[in-house]
Amino acid sequence: MTTLVRFWLENRLELATLVGEHVLLVAISTTVAVAIGVPVGIVAARRPRLASPLVGVANVVQTVPSLAMFGFLLPVPLVGGVGARAALVVLVLYGLLPIVRSTIVGITGIDRAIREAGVAMGMTPRELLRQIELPLALPSIVAGIRVAAVVGVGSATIAAAIGAGGLGQYIYRGLSMVDSTVILAGAIPAALLALVVDAGLFLLERQLSARRRAAPRRAAAIAAGSIALIALAGSAAMAARGSGVIVVGSKNFTEQLILGEIVAQTIERETGLAVQRRLNLGGTLISERALLTGDIDVYVEYTGTALTAIFRQPPSTDPETVRTTVRELYARTGRTLLPPLGFDNTFAILVRGADARAHNLRTIDDAARVAPGWRAGFGYEFLERPDGYAGLARTYGLAFRDPPQVMDLTLTYRALAAGQVDLIAGDATAGLIRGLDLVRLEDNRRYFPPYDAVPVASAATLLRYPEVHRALEGLAGRITADDMQAMNYAAEARGEHPAAIARRFLHR
Amino acid sequence: MLDDFTLRVGAGEVVALVGASGAGKTTVLRLVNRLLLPDAGGVRVQGRDTRDWDPIRLRRSVGYVIQEVGLFPHLTVADNVAVVPRLEGWEGDRVRARVGELLDLVGLAPATYAERWPDELSGGQRQRVGVARALAADPPVLLMDEPFGALDPVTRRQLQDEFGRLQSALRKSVVLVTHDMAEAMALADRVGVLDEGRLIWCGPPPALHGCDDPRVRTFVEAVAPPSRAGAQARP
């Protein structure tokens, strides 16, 4: 608890910014959902045959997991991509169902005698709607808005996956660092925010149900006032974060966050240009798409990943060939591959230090001798990929006592250290290798393709800002595998902030 | 619902429609303000067929006092009464004056009741507001559907008396639907008896006792035994 409070205090500016972004995402998306949902609900309430398919569609939209929804929208022009705009689209879609449904319920639930009185008094449909139906349906509609806003606060945490900011950033950062303090640092304010929004709208709802003529007007004024206030506070927070000229992206794991900071700080220091950080994007394909659409200007990729995952080429083992092929493929789509940073984040076959010393193991060939008595544990991805387990077993004639256990990649390190398994395939630069006394066996038959870390940038940006090009070239060969491992260790085991780690590295 | 139905209501005349539930009484009212259109035949209001009327204009010149009142729960008494004048675009001062006048007319002191909410009123008070609302834009025609049905006998009697007094001053053309034969006979210039969608008898109240149609007789005796009036009138 005290570490959590300390984390908040140390990062209070960032925390305020994230809360501001979160509130703004929810406020804007809920407002838009109301602007669309209420009219749709009104139309549907008048045409019962339209209402049930409409609510059905909205229901289906609601059941799509938000992460999947972001995935679907990624390639869609205008509304898709990464950043706040795509996040807003998703949040609006989620907000629509409760609002449409509550509008329909509110209007169709009005006593028939009352509606008929209005008609018999000579009200036009519009007058009936404005003077009778909407005022009487308002408490129900506000109840729907309340649901939409609370759901929105929750869904907005997922928006961090596509770089829309908000409290989800802490949650994702914490998840990738396996640091529960950082997860809670985002999760607790998000939960509090949901409670505050829920309570606020509940009060509004009760005011409206009180059926006092002045109340709807006063309540509407209060609601409008708070939205304006929220928007103001949110934009102030956004402004504090600043909108940079150069946008630096990164994927969503520790090493990428540190590399993103190193790139961002280097550009800031060498060129004086303002840099906007859009770190912690969902994964390889999201970052790739962001770079392609110009949502970000630069991020760090790995040559082997670019070759197989982005350009769908067969794996290759020669670092030089891979780099040339990838540079060529990037160039065709308007991106520039910069010189490698100096380390290769390939798969690392790891064993316990004690075993390595006892059996005198240096290479994977050495391990193949003792493997029949061993158990192995691998991440799901390693078992599936073309450059993963099947080929490794073939190349080295590896066989284990049992079929390899499938587990979360992050957990494999701990499982190895705890003796639950005897061999794993980790990342070559994982900080835990150092922290848990693990030993990396040499890939003496050169099975694994190279995964050299390389900045990839939009060619147009580099042409426009040659100083950025020079700054990024200055990073060539600066980071060794040991450096990277040490920095990952500082973040994962000691819980240091990626920005601080990057700063220390650049200033040493 | 209705079959072979012909009824003429003169200017300033009160016609009461009596009949069992489902006899078609309310349908008659709904035809007059064009909540319904006839399948065959025609309904004329002020000499014009309801099909030729703009329904909105028609309804604003026909006051409607509804079963169970139908006051708007989100509006005060004054705002309920002011609905049609405001729809008609009257100015604020004129609306306020008219609301005061009408509340006085139905026996609700404006100072006390104008800003009350419908759920703060008794059943009789709500019904008075319903009448005031129907009269607000001074329509020549007034439709009343069981206006005093949900009230206790004392209040009902009181409101019936007041209606008689109002009508002698206002001279509206009124169609009053009721299942209470005593009420019909007390308030109406003519009484019509409906049975399964047909008007089986129509005439001034005193003539009802002379009617020998068995359906009318059983109905008259069931709701108003002839012995009752004399017995109660004796001191």
Length of chain A in terms of residues written: 508
Whether residue B129 contacts residue B99, with contact meaning beta carbons closer than 8 Å, is answered with no
- pLDDT for the residue A177: 61
Task: Give the pLDDT confidence of A350-403 residue by residue, as tens digits.
Answer: 999 999 999 999 999 999 999 999 999 998 778 877 788 988 999 999 999 988
- The DSSP H or E segment spanning B177 is strand B173-178
Q: Confidence band (pLDDT; 50, 70, 90) for A232?
A: low
CB contact under 8 A, A117 and B87: no
CA distance B204 to B156: 22
The answer, for A122 touching chain B at a CB cutoff of 8 Å, is yes
Residue A176 has pLDDT above 70, yes or no: no
- pLDDT for the residue A409: 78
The answer, for B37 touching chain A at a CB cutoff of 8 Å, is no
- pLDDT for the residue A264: 95
The Cα of A112 is separated from the nearest Cα of chain B by a number of Å equal to: 9
Q: A213 vs A121, A128, A282, B76, B160, CA distance in Å?
A: 21, 17, 49, 8, 32
By C-alpha distance, the chain A residue nearest B137 is A121
Domain segments of chain A: what residues? 2-241, 246-344+450-507, 347-441
The answer, for B87 touching chain A at a CB cutoff of 8 Å, is yes
Residue A484 has pLDDT above 50, yes or no: yes
Task: Give the pLDDT confidence of A277-319 residue by residue, as tens digits.
Answer: 888 887 788 888 889 888 899 999 999 889 988 888 888 888 8
| DSSP label of A303 | H
CA distance A272 to A178: 34
3-state secondary structure at position A221: helix
For A120, the closest of B33, B57, B75 (CB atoms) is: B33
Q: Which of A240-254, A335-349, B27-41 has the lowest mean pLDDT?
A: A240-254
- pLDDT for the residue B7: 84
The answer, for B117 touching chain A at a CB cutoff of 8 Å, is yes
The chain-wide mean pLDDT, for chain B, equals 84
CB contact under 8 A, B71 and A117: yes
3-state secondary structure A448-468: CCCCEEEEEEEHHHHHHCHHH
Whether residue B95 contacts residue B85, with contact meaning beta carbons closer than 8 Å, is answered with yes
- pLDDT for the residue A219: 65
Q: Which residues of A14-23 are buried (b: 16+ CB within 10 A; e: fewer)?
A: bbebbbbbbb
By C-alpha distance, the chain B residue nearest A215 is B74
For B47-83, the DSSP string reads TEETTTS-HHHHHHTEEEEBTTB---TTS-HHHHHTH
The Cα of A132 is separated from the nearest Cα of chain B by a number of Å equal to: 7
3-state secondary structure at position A429: coil
- pLDDT for the residue A372: 92
Number of Cβ pairs closer than 8 Å across A and B? 60
Residue A326 has pLDDT above 60, yes or no: yes
Task: Give the pLDDT confidence of A55-66 residue by residue, as tens digits.
Answer: 888 778 777 777
Which carries the bigger pLDDT value, residue B3 or residue B88? B88
- pLDDT for the residue A285: 80
- pLDDT for the residue B235: 38
- The DSSP H or E segment spanning B178 is strand B173-178
The answer, for A131 touching chain B at a CB cutoff of 8 Å, is yes
Q: What CATH architecture does domain A246-344+450-507 belong to?
A: 3-Layer(aba) Sandwich (3.40)
- Stretch A155-167: mean pLDDT: 82
Q: A452 vs A149, A291, A300, A339, A424, CA distance in Å?
A: 44, 19, 10, 10, 21
Residues whose CB is less than 8 angstroms from the CB of residue B69 and which lie 6 or more positions away in sequence, other chains included: A113, B118, B126, B127, B129, B130, B150
Residues whose CB is less than 8 angstroms from the CB of residue A353 and which lie 6 or more positions away in sequence, other chains included: A437, A438, A439
CA distance A471 to A149: 44
| CATH number for the domain whose boundaries are A347-441 | 3.40.190.120
Residues whose CB is less than 8 angstroms from the CB of residue A46 and which lie 6 or more positions away in sequence, other chains included: none
The chain-wide mean pLDDT, for chain A, equals 86
The yes-or-no answer to whether A246-344+450-507 and A347-441 have a common fold is yes
Residue A241 has pLDDT above 90, yes or no: no
- Stretch A186-196: mean pLDDT: 92
CB contact under 8 A, B66 and A211: no
Amino acid at site A234: G
Cα angle A408, A411, A417 (rounded to 5 degrees) comes to 145
CA distance A240 to A251: 24
Whether residue A432 contacts residue A254, with contact meaning beta carbons closer than 8 Å, is answered with no
Q: Which of A492, A476, A487, A481 is nearest to A451 (CA)?
A: A481
* Topology given in CATH for the domain delimited by A2-241: MetI-like fold (1.10.3720)
Q: How buried is A381 (Cβ within 10 angstroms: 0-12 exposed, 13-18 middle, 19+ buried)?
A: exposed
CB contact under 8 A, B70 and A122: no
Q: Which of A42-56, A120-134, A413-427, B134-148 has the lowest mean pLDDT?
A: A42-56
Task: Give the pLDDT confidence of B101-144 residue by residue, as tens digits.
Answer: 999 888 899 999 999 999 899 888 898 899 899 988 889 999 99
Task: Name the one residue in this structure whose structure tokens are 């990952």.
Answer: A488
CB contact under 8 A, A121 and B84: yes
- State the virtual CA torsion across A374, A380, A383, A385 in degrees, nearest 10: -150
- pLDDT for the residue A381: 76
The answer, for A213 touching chain B at a CB cutoff of 8 Å, is yes
For A211, the closest of B58, B68, B117 (CB atoms) is: B117
For A113, the closest of B56, B66, B79 (CB atoms) is: B66
Length of chain B in terms of residues written: 235
B chain contacts of residue A136, beta-carbon cutoff 8 Å: 73-74
Task: Give the pLDDT confidence of A200-219 residue by residue, as tens digits.
Answer: 888 888 877 665 555 556 66
By C-alpha distance, the chain A residue nearest B84 is A121
A chain contacts of residue B87, beta-carbon cutoff 8 Å: 121-123, 127
CA distance A364 to A145: 59
Q: Which of A323-332, B48-57, B223-232 has the lowest mean pLDDT?
A: B223-232
Q: A124 vs A115, A406, B74, CA distance in Å?
A: 12, 67, 19
According to DSSP, the residues that pair with A427 across neighbouring strands are A347
According to DSSP, the residues that pair with A425 across neighbouring strands are A349
By C-alpha distance, the chain B residue nearest A125 is B56
CB contact under 8 A, A135 and B59: no
Helix then strand count (H, E) for chain A reads 25, 10
Strand order in the sheet with A376-378: A405-406, A376-378, A423-427, A347-352, A438-441
Helices assigned H by DSSP within chain B:
25-32, 55-60, 77-81, 83-87, 92-105, 110-113, 123-135, 153-170, 181-187, 205-208, 214-223, 226-233
Residue A66's Cβ-side half-sphere holds a number of Cα atoms within 13 Å equal to 24
CB contact under 8 A, A131 and B71: no
CB contact under 8 A, A120 and B35: yes
The answer, for A314 touching chain B at a CB cutoff of 8 Å, is no
Task: Name the one residue in this structure whose structure tokens are 């406020």.
Answer: A27
pTM for the complete prediction?
A: 0.65
Q: Confidence band (pLDDT; 50, 70, 90) for A81?
A: low
- pLDDT for the residue A32: 92
CA distance A246 to A277: 9
Which carries the bigger pLDDT value, residue A33 or residue B213? A33
Q: How buried is A451 (Cβ within 10 angstroms: 0-12 exposed, 13-18 middle, 19+ buried)?
A: buried
Q: Which of A129-138, A154-163, A332-341, A436-445 has the lowest mean pLDDT?
A: A154-163
By C-alpha distance, the chain B residue nearest A139 is B74
- pLDDT for the residue A374: 93
Q: Confidence band (pLDDT; 50, 70, 90) for A192?
A: very high
The answer, for B36 touching chain A at a CB cutoff of 8 Å, is no
- pLDDT for the residue A366: 93
